[in-house]
């Protein structure tokens, strides 16, 4: 599989639309004379506040979530009847990782209804496109005929935030061909659902974790530690000569992992530096570091493959490599009680125990 697919989405180009503008533009084009709506979905977890079934799922009420999906049957059927009369085909390719996330288990039940009523859906294992995703995940793409396509943008809380809009005919044709090439490799939805989703127990929000989940938790703990170190280091370097290199490195990281957020991250970095300059209180620095720890943790959770690159950046930016700070020392004091442990670090924190 060519690693050059979806090239036009990698540099953060396209007209950025906030969510209300994106939805309005989508509706306008969708109602026009188009014959294909194609959607490529990659993320494994999203948040959909305002969707009753998702809210029931998120609250832990699985039975009610399924009932609410079924309650939408008539309205979904009406949509696809109208689409058929217009000659509009809705085609979706869903990329799936294993084990499936609770969100994906919920979404697959939504898609089962849509598949039954007329949407053409196929499923593709993420391992199939590993060569394509060596640098970053494939984008979340929506194509509306030959008129427009969007790279959907999600905020750090995994909620829909808008889209980047593309109208170049050559880019749309190329992306449509690339979508169809991946779609052709996908498995028919009904076969996938019956084999992988139907046998699953309801999402186990409070049950003991499986071995796969425990491994994921260990990885998550490592990512959390890395995010904490990175957030503290990042804010600590904002008032130093290394600031420009720090900023460029962080923005470049987002550019490769989530290019649709790179410009926003650059602006957030500038805002944080301005806040730090206006108030040098230690509490303020701690609050700003915590904000960046959260942003970086969410990035690593969504795209864990960038952890190694982030660690390299931290190593390059380490104050200990600067002659001006090579002689500096840090003394830390802490105490632990009972069975607890204390982990301390002057910059990077590496935990190697199980």
SS (H, E, C) 189-209: HHHHHHHHHCCCCCCCCCCCC
Least confident of 7-11, 219-223, 232-236: 219-223
From 4, 1, 32, 30, select the one nearest 174 (Cα to Cα).
4
- Model confidence pLDDT, tens digit, residues 284-323: 888 898 889 888 988 887 788 888 999 999 998 875 444 3
Give 36's strand partners: 89
Q: How far is CA 272 from CA 90, 237, 258, 269, 284, in A?
A: 43, 12, 20, 5, 10
pLDDT of residue 255: 87
**pLDDT exceeds 90 at position 272:** yes
Structure tokens at 307: 């952890």
Q: Cα(124)–Cα(192) distance, rounded to whole angstroms?
A: 9
What is the token pair recorded at 331? 């003394």
pLDDT at 220: 63
- Distance, in Å, from the CA atom of 325 to the CA atom of 64, rounded to the nearest integer, reads 59
Q: Which two tokens stand for residue 336?
A: 């632990």
pLDDT band at 151 (very low <50, low <70, confident <90, very high): very high
Q: Reply yes or no on whether the pLDDT at 87 is more than 80.
A: yes
pLDDT of residue 15: 96
Which positions ≥6 away from 92 have C-beta within 8 Å?
38, 39, 40, 41, 111, 119, 120, 121, 122
Residue 162's H or E segment, with its range, is strand 160-166
The pLDDT tens digits for 13-51 are: 899 999 999 999 999 999 999 999 999 999 999 999 999
Higher per-residue pLDDT: 279 or 321: 279
Helix (H) or strand (E) holding 58: helix 52-58
* CA–CA separation, 142 and 91 (whole Å): 10
- pLDDT beyond 90 at 86: yes
Average pLDDT of the residues in 82-108: 96
Q: Is the pLDDT of residue 351 over 90?
A: no
Residue-level pLDDT at 326: 35
Enter the pTM of the model: 0.63
Count the Cβ atoms, other than its own, within 10 Å of residue 245: 14
CA distance 123 to 304: 22
What's the pLDDT at 345? 43
Higher pLDDT, 98 or 208: 98
pLDDT tens-digit series, residues 115-125: 999 999 999 99
Query: What is the SS3 assignment for 120?
Result: strand
pLDDT in tens, 157-213: 889 999 999 999 999 999 999 999 999 999 999 999 999 999 999 997 644 445 554
Average pLDDT of the residues in 208-234: 69
């Amino acid at each position: 599989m060519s690693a050059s697919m979806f090239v036009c989405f990698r540099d953060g180009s396209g007209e950025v639309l906030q969510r209300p503008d994106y939805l309005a533009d989508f509706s306008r084009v969708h109602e026009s004379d188009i014959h294909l709506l194609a959607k490529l979905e990659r993320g494994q977890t999203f948040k959909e506040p305002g969707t009753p079934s998702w809210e029931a799922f998120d609250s832990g009420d699985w039975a009610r979530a399924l009932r609410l999906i079924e309650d939408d049957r008539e309205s979904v059927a009406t949509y696809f009847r109208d689409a058929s009369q217009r000659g509009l085909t809705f085609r979706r390719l869903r990329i799936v990782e294993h084990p499936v996330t609770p969100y994906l288990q919920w979404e697959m039940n939504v898609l089962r209804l849509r598949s039954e009523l007329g949407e053409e859906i196929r499923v593709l294992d993420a391992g199939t496109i590993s060569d394509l995703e060596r640098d970053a995940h494939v984008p979340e793409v929506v194509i509306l005929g030959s008129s427009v396509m969007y790279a959907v943008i999600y905020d750090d809380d995994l909620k829909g935030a808008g889209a980047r809009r593309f109208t170049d005919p050559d880019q749309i044709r190329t992306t449509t061909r690339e979508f169809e090439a991946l779609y052709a490799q996908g498995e028919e939805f009904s076969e996938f659902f019956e084999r992988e989703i139907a046998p699953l127990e309801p999402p186990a929000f409070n049950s003991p974790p499986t071995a796969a989940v425990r491994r994921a938790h260990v990885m998550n703990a490592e990512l959390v530690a890395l995010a904490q170190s990175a957030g503290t280091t990042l804010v600590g370097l904002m008032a130093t000569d290394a600031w420009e290199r720090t900023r460029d490195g962080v923005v470049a990281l987002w550019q490769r992992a989530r290019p649709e957020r790179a410009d926003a991250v650059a602006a957030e970095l500038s805002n944080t530096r301005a806040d730090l300059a206006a108030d040098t209180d230690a509490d303020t620095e701690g609050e700003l570091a915590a904000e960046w720890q959260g942003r970086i943790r969410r990035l690593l959770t969504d795209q864990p493959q960038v952890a190694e690159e982030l660690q390299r950046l931290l190593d390059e930016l380490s104050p200990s490599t600067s002659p001006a700070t090579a002689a500096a020392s840090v003394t830390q004091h802490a105490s632990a009680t009972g069975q607890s442990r204390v982990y301390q670090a002057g910059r990077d924190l590496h935990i190697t125990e199980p």
